[in-house]
Amino acid sequence: MREIVFDTETTGLSPSDGHRLVEIGALELVNRVETGRSFHVYCNPEREMPSDAFAVHGLSDAFLANKPLFSVEAQNFLDFIEDSPLVAHNAQFDFGFLNAELERAGRAAVAMERMIDTLAIARTKHPGAKHSLDALCTRYGIDRSQRVLHGALLDAQLLSQVYVELTGGRQIGLTLGAETESASRERAPTERAARAPRRPVREPRPHSASPEEQQRHAAFIADLTDPLWPADRFGT
């Protein structure tokens, strides 16, 4: 199954207040495994960057001045995501900005039915805990040492690892993940037998005494003095 994990950086909290998308990063998962394919672009927001937003991601007006408008990159992004489900953390926020930019560019909105919100999954799986991306990375032992500031592609990469952990861990990407424990136990003896080295077949050995052995045994019993068992038990 193909899925796209993505993240955005913006000039503020709501597109309805005139805020714009300034960065989008996305990467491809197939069966919960990163394929190495990604999409990343900075966009000129056509407005000044508020200081509080700059403090979060560090993207300045000067840095963004020569970057393309989102409308220029919209088709490239749509080609990358195709019709795959889209995974985001607090996905309502990212979908809101993405669809506002698509509308501005004269494009159709991405259907909300494609949204997978890792924040909602985390709240269900870990009620009462902290659910920020940083907190979830700490919970699952994911290295976020490079995350000094927010960055869309880096956050998407971290989120992809969090998403895998939230939905079952790395085992689900393996063929053996679908096998039950009991089936594995039933299969193991057969596999061990198949791997065992072949030994030469021996003819069955006789287990009854020969007539000569019976005569020698009878002579031995006859020489016993005051035996503890009846002699007739031994054929004498």
Catalytic residue from among 19, 150, 207, 217: 150
Contact 41, 152 (CB under 8 A): no
Cβ contacts of 206 within 8 Å, gap of 6 or more: none
57 an active-site residue?
no
Average pLDDT over residues 135-147: 89
Q: Is the pLDDT of residue 179 over 90?
A: no
| 17-54: b (≥16 Cβ within 10 Å) or e | eebbbbbbbbbbbeebeeeeebbbbbbbbeeebeeebb
- Say yes or no to pLDDT of 17 above 50: yes
Confidence class for position 174, pLDDT limits 50, 70, 90? very low
Give phi and psi for 211, each to the nearest 5.
Answer: -55, -40
Give 232 or 202, the one with higher predicted confidence: 202
Residue ranges and CATH numbers for the domains of the chain are: 2-176 (3.30.420.10)
Does residue 198 register a pLDDT over 80?
no
Tell whether the model's pLDDT for residue 213 goes beyond 90: no
Identify the band that residue 191 occupies on the pLDDT scale cut at 50, 70 and 90: low
pLDDT in tens, 102-116: 999 999 999 999 999
Separation between Cα atoms, residue 43 and residue 117, nearest integer Å:
24
pLDDT digits (tens, 9 = 90+) for 154-164: 999 999 999 99
Q: What is the 3-state secondary structure (H, E, C) of 11-53?
A: CCCCHHHCCCEEEEEEEEEECCEEEEEEEEEECCCCCCCCHHH
Q: Which of 5, 13, 82, 69 is nearest to 41 (CA)?
A: 69
